[in-house]
Amino acid sequence: MSDLAIYDLDRTITRRATYTPFLLHCALRRQQWRLLFLPLVILSMAAYVARLIGRGKLKEINHALLLGRRVHAADLKPLVEGFADSTVANNVRPGARRAIQKDREQGRRLVLATASYRLYASAIAERLGFDDVIGTGSIIGLDDRVRPKIDGENCYGEAKKRMIDSWVDASGLLGTHGHVRFYSDHASDAPVFEWADEPVAVNPHERLRRLAAKRGWAVEDWGS
């Protein structure tokens, strides 16, 4: 029986979000002229805030603007590796490193479950010693080019819980895994918090702090 430690990424393990910084990292190193689209990126964010588009559509729009519609995986690989190196060096909370080390020493299976794109989250997870990654997928064509379109669901909210359930089933752990410890900073992960045996709210925003107090969940400060 395998005990699990499941971690959110953005603002849980990391101090800052990673998706837009990843796109900017790629644009600066690959096609700087794409930075001319930044006003459109800001408009798309405003449309999201106004609830005219969802999170998934926001990601697809910004991917198309800053990274392009058909990026060969071979061209993307060095950008992913460089971004992962920079993130692990400069954007990981000290408490996250300690928690990962503790869970590893306890023999837990380390799982990253994030709304970020798996195409770069996997590289970050590898550097931090994770065993598995559940994240937002990217459509890759037969020409080995990455498209902006999300493959399946955006791994956020209820969808993250469904994707964790699918991973548990596909991994042969359904009904056989042990204790589940789950870490996140955001109340959108309430479905996973409710499912976990040991929910831990990490540097929570106010809504999650209130929810944690109501449910009796642990609250931890992993530092800034």
CATH number at residue 94: 3.40.50.1000
Strands 109-117 and 132-140: parallel
- Count of the separate structural domains present in the chain: 1
Structure tokens at 65: 């603007």
Query: Whole-model pTM?
Result: 0.95
Residue 4 makes CB contacts below 8 A (sequence gap 6+) with: 108, 109, 111, 173, 177, 178, 179, 180, 181
State how far the Cα of 29 lies from the Cα of 196, in Å rounded to an integer: 40
Q: Three-state SS for 200?
A: strand
pLDDT of the residue at 176: 83
pLDDT of the residue at 142: 85
Strands 218-220 and 198-202: parallel
Dihedral sign, Cα of residue 66, residue 71, residue 73, residue 75: negative
Residue with tokens 């929810």: 211
pLDDT of the residue at 222: 97
* Domain span including residue 134: 4-220
pLDDT of the residue at 30: 95
Structure tokens at 138: 């990217």
Quick count: other Cβ atoms within 10 Å of Cβ 3?
Answer: 16
Q: Which of 181, 187, 177 is nearest to 215 (CA)?
A: 187
pLDDT of the residue at 80: 97
112-118-123 Cα angle (round to 5):
75
Helix residue ranges per DSSP H, 94-157 = 94-105, 118-128
Instruction: Please give the helix or strand (H or E) that residue 22 lies within, else none.
Output: helix 19-30
Q: Contact 189/201 with Cβ under 8 angstroms?
A: no
Structure tokens at 34: 């794409």
Q: What is the pLDDT of residues 71-91, one digit of tens each?
A: 999 999 999 999 999 999 999
State how far the Cα of 164 lies from the Cα of 201, in Å rounded to an integer: 18
Q: Contact 61/44 with Cβ under 8 angstroms?
A: yes
pLDDT of the residue at 174: 82
pLDDT of the residue at 224: 77
Residue segments in the chain with a per-residue pLDDT below the cut of 70: none
State how far the Cα of 65 lies from the Cα of 133, in Å rounded to an integer: 26
